Chains A and B, each alone.
Chain A
Amino acid sequence: MISELFTMTVLIGILSSGVRLATPYLYASIGETFGQRSGVLNLGVEGQMLLGAFTAFYVAMNTGSLWLGVLAAMIVGAVMGLAMAFVTVNLHAQQGISGIGFYLFGLGMSDLLFQKMMGTVRTVQGFPKIGIPFLSDIPGIGDIFFNHNILVYGAYLLVLVAWFVLNKTNLGLKIRAVGENPDAADSLGVSVARVRYFTIILGGTLSGVAGASLSIALLNVFQQNMTSGLGFIAVALVYFGAWRPFGVLIGALLFSMVNSLQLWIQVLGVPIPSEIAVMMPYVLTILVLVATVSKVRAPSALTKPFEREE
C-alpha cells in the first residue's frame, strides 16, 4: 500500500490539496506578519478566524452572495482588530494574554451565534474552481497550481503584495521602523500608534478572510471550533518564516503539504495510526522553530508597548 502513495495521480493529488490547504494559513499569517513587524503580537487570530468563518458562512447562506460573505468576515475581523489595537496600543495591555482573551471571546461568540442562529450544521456551495486558461491544461502542473478557487489564488497574490509593501514602499518602511525602534520612528514624526492601529486592523481583516476561506471556499460548512488550533499555527508560522512573507509562504506550504499527505495516508488506508500522522505537522513545527529561531532576530520592539518619553 505504501507504493500506492507514489503513483503519479496520488502525488498530484497530495501536492494540489497542499497548495489549496495553505490558503487559510497564508491569509492569517501574512496579516500577523504585518502586526509583528510593527511590534504587536496578536494571539487572538484563532478567535478572529472563527468569527470570520461563521459570519462569512451565515451571510453567504442567507444572501446567496459569497463575496458579501467575505466582506462581512473582513468587517468582523477588522472590528476585532480595532478592539485589539485599542487595548494594546492605548491601554498597554500585555499582548499575549489579551490575545488569549480575544481568542476565548471569538471561540464562545461564534459558538453562541452558531447555536442561536443556525442550530445545525449546513453546507453552502462555496467558491468554484477556476482553471487558469492554458496553464491549467499543462499535465500535472496545471492541476497542482492552476485549478483552484479564487481565494486560493488571492492568498498567493497576497504574499507578493505583502513582500512589496513591506520592503519597497514608504508604508513598509514605517511599519518596520515602528517595530524595530519606535522611539526613533516617533522622533522622525511617524505616529507609532497610527501605524500599529493600521497593522492590527489589517491583521484582523485578513484573519477574517482566513476564516471565510475555510467556511465558504475550502470546507463549505461551519462547525463549532472548526479552526481547531489553525489560528495559533498561523502565528507560529510567522516566527517560522522569520517575519518575511516568503518565509511564511514556505512555512505554510510545508505545513499544508504534510497535512495533505496525512489526509491521503488516511484515505488510502496506509497502516500508520492516523493520530501519529496528524501529530507530525506540530512536531515538525517545533523542530523547525528550534532549528531556525536562534538564528534570526525578532523585531526588537515585539510585544513592547510604546510610551513616549516625557
Chain B
Amino acid sequence: MLQHCRRCNVTIRNPHKSCPLCGGTLEGEWLEENRMFPDLEQSSSRFALGFRIFTFGCIAVMIAAAALNWSLGFEDFWSRYVLAGVVCTWLLTAMAVIKRRNLMKNFIWQMVLLWGVFLFWDWMTGWKGWSVDYALPGAWLAAFGSILAVIFITKPPAVHYLVYLMLLFAGSFVLLILLVLGVPQQKIPGIVSVAAGFLMLIGLLLFQGRLLLEELHKKVHL
C-alpha cells in the first residue's frame, strides 16, 4: 500500500513523513520495504575546514604583529618580516593543499613558488645574492629528487610523469640562462642543477623519445 497526498492527488512511491510536493499530511503508512534510496550523505571535506582554520590563524598572527608594532611605534617596521613570512607560508601551504591529489605537479608548483619566495626575501633583506647562488638551484634539486622518488616508489606509467620531467628541464634551462648572464657569484650549485637537467633530458630522449614526443603533442594540441 503506497502513501497518498489528498491535496496534490498523487501517490508517493517511496515513504515520506509528509508530501514531498506540498508538505501536507499523507494517507497510508510509512513502510520500510518501500524505501528506494539508502541513507546518503554528502561527504564534507576536512581539508576545507582545516585550511580555513589555518588561514584564520595566519591572519591572526599578521594582525597581532602589526598591532604590536604599531603600539611600540612604527620607527622600526619590523612586523613587515612577520607579514611577509606569514604570506609566504600561506601561499606555499595553499598550493600544497590545492595540488594535494597530484604529488609531482605539487612539487613543480612548490619549486616555482619557492623561487619567488627566495628572490623576494633576498631583495627584502638587501640583495646579497644567496637566492641565485644557492636557493634557486637548491629548490630545483629538491624538486628533482622528490619527483624521482615518487616515480621510483609509485611506478606510474611514463605518460603520467613525462610532462613533469620536461618542466624540470625547463627549470634547469632558466638556471642555465642565469649562469650564462653571470648572475650567480657561486656557480657550482647552478652548474650541478643544469648538468642534472640536461642529463635527464638526454636520458628521456634516448629511452622514452617517442613517448616524450607524443606527450608533448598531447599537451600542446591546439
> Do A and B come from the same complex?
no
